[in-house]
Amino acid sequence: MSSPSAPSTPPVPPSLSSVVSPPAPSASEERPGLVLRNARVGLRGPLRHILITGGRVAAVLDEPPGCTEIGDLTAGHTRGGAVEDVDLEGATVLPGLWDAHVHSVQWAQARRRIDLGGARSAREAVELVLPHLRPSGPTSEVIMGYGFRDALWADVPDRSLLPEAHPVVLISNDLHTAWLSGAALALIGRGDHPTGVLRESECYNALVALPPPPRELLDRWVAESTVAAARIGVTGMLDFELADNVTDWLRRFREQEVAVRVACSIPRSGLDEAIAHGLRTGDAVAGSGGWLEVGPVKMFVDGSLNTRTAYCDDPYPGSGERGRLETPPDELAAIMEHAARHGLHPAVHAIGDLASSIALDAFERVGCPGRIEHAQLVRAGDFARFARPGLVAGVQPAHAPDDREVADTHWCGRTARAFAYADLLAAGATLELGSDAPVAPLDPWDGIASAVTRTDDERPPWHPEQVISLQDALAAASRGRSAVWEGEPADLMILERDPSLLAPGELRRPSVLGTLVGGRWTHRTVG
């Protein structure tokens, strides 16, 4: 469920060939120390005091007998410098959240696009767009809509339904389909396309070819989305934008207010260039103070469920088609081996059960660490194969309630092994939760709540046997951090109430009083 937007910068110039280095001292390391007093550390945890120095958790303390002043509490843990004292009055402190699958530019733009999520037909989608056209007549401004789901529509998208003279681009919720008007098709040199409906690689190429907003404006929108994420406890994200993410994020870090850490993925098309510049997964990006790191290399096996291009063992009802194979197995393994040989981990998009099996085969053949993104439908015999060391299953629990009707229709009889997070955990898999924003909002709480309830509204849980515990969901949404440990980076969130005491509806909207990244406040309403 991922796709590109227009790259906002040219390729990495030779002057950035030393763009990675060991982590540089972050700005937080020069800030005063911080004591979070009277914090409930962990779910239903006891009251403790958390001391932060140098951007890390220096100590988690009980209050010693006779301790009356902050100096008494911090004695032996600081060098006598300034220490800020914040009384949390029983608020809960947990590791900060990571969104392990984001398309940052598309998410920033989607927040400003026409919402088509409620359209129940192609004609309804058009009706949502028409009020946004300028009454004065056609202009060169591209009207963008986002979020339509056509898998269950009785009619089909077609350029004839859109106003021919206005440049209109509508993007599906799964990002694998673009529906363009005649004027928009002309903008990208595809004016003769018969339907205006472009899927998979055609869709991606069309979106890249569209004129992007000014770079400075787009950077501001992306930075603003990180500030919004910090307000809900997010301290980091893995960005799968199809762009030169290392360069783009380093520029944003220098010029904008970036409020989260970012792991910067590399598109497959940029693999050789990344190797030439010495990029290695997990390395810190020089000049970012440790806030940016090099991420994995993204590659595709198949498409998506809603577009009916997820590659499956069984054909889709009424079509005889099993989906679309984007990268043949031998080619996939060769690319993965090439990346791994140079210290770059693969992140392999695989949604259908046949696609997931092909991805697992490749990891076993190459023997490298990496990620399988989505793993929405898995063969019964393949769950145990996800337990291999170094392999992460990047999953998006909010998609399960969103796509349940589509799955029941197009994966009929197989949904017991769809979005099967409990079975993956039971088999020993390592899970990391993401949103795939803008496919779902950049909001880990939405994914956490969906993972522990298997619903997001008044409908009963869908395959409740796949519910996972809140503890497991929080760890998977925090890059595996299950507790606040001494010595770890002070990437923390402060919650007004313990999440384990919240009702399901409340769990989607907890009150976050503060967020810290490396000991620096990125969101604060406390103290």
Q: Are 108 and 224 in contact (CB under 8 A)?
A: yes
Q: Using CA atoms, how far apart are residues 61 and 74, in angstroms rounded to an integer? A: 9
Express the helix, strand and coil content of the chain in percent, nearest 5 each: 30, 25, 45
Q: Using CA atoms, how far apart are residues 170 and 162, in angstroms rounded to an integer? A: 10
Mean pLDDT value across the chain = 91
Q: What is the pLDDT of residue 213?
A: 86
417 residue type, one letter = R
Matching residue, tokens 């990180």: 226
- Please classify residue 5 by burial: count the beta carbons closer than 10 Å to its beta carbon, then call 0-12 exposed, 13-18 middle and 19+ buried: buried
- Please classify residue 133 by burial: count the beta carbons closer than 10 Å to its beta carbon, then call 0-12 exposed, 13-18 middle and 19+ buried: middle
Q: Using CA atoms, how far apart are residues 179 and 387, in angstroms rounded to an integer? A: 39
Q: Are 298 and 349 in contact (CB under 8 A)?
A: yes
Structure-token pair, residue 62: 């009980």
- CATH numbers and ranges of domains, the chain: 110-209 (3.10.310.70)
Q: Using CA atoms, how far apart are residues 423 and 419, in angstroms rounded to an integer? A: 9
CA distances from 95 to 37, 77, 142, 319, 358 (A): 16, 21, 41, 47, 34
Q: Using CA of residue 159, residue 163, residue 168, residue 174, what is the dihedral sign?
A: negative
Query: What tens-digit pLDDT sequence spans the chain (527 residues)?
Result: 443 333 333 233 323 333 433 333 344 345 679 999 999 999 999 999 999 999 999 999 987 555 655 666 666 566 556 789 999 999 999 999 999 999 999 999 988 899 998 999 999 999 999 999 877 666 678 899 999 999 889 999 999 999 999 999 999 988 889 999 999 999 999 999 999 999 988 998 998 899 888 999 999 999 999 999 999 999 999 999 999 999 999 999 999 999 999 999 999 999 999 999 999 999 999 999 999 999 999 999 999 999 999 999 999 998 899 999 999 999 999 999 999 999 999 999 999 999 999 999 999 999 999 999 999 999 999 999 999 999 999 999 999 999 999 999 999 999 999 999 999 999 999 999 999 999 999 999 999 999 999 999 999 999 999 999 999 999 999 999 999 999 999 999 999 999 999 999 999 999 999 999 999 999 999 98
Q: What is the pLDDT of residue 30?
A: 52
CA 461 to chain centre: 24
Which residues, 6 or more positions from 334, have their beta carbon under 8 angstroms from its beta carbon? Answer: none
Structure-token pair, residue 381: 């015999």
Q: Residue 435: what are its φ and ψ, rounded to 5°?
A: -105, -25
Radius of gyration from C-alpha coordinates of the chain: 24
- Please classify residue 305 by burial: count the beta carbons closer than 10 Å to its beta carbon, then call 0-12 exposed, 13-18 middle and 19+ buried: buried
Q: Are 484 and 497 in contact (CB under 8 A)?
A: no
Q: What is the pLDDT of residue 173?
A: 86
Q: Are 232 and 443 in contact (CB under 8 A)?
A: yes
Q: Are 374 and 394 in contact (CB under 8 A)?
A: yes
Q: Using CA atoms, how far apart are residues 214 and 315, in angstroms rounded to an integer? A: 43
The residues pairing with 115 across neighbouring beta strands, listed in sequence order, are 146
Buried b vs exposed e over 359-373: b needs ≥16 C-beta within 10 Å?
A: bbebbeebebbbbbb
Helix H or strand E segment including 202: helix 201-209
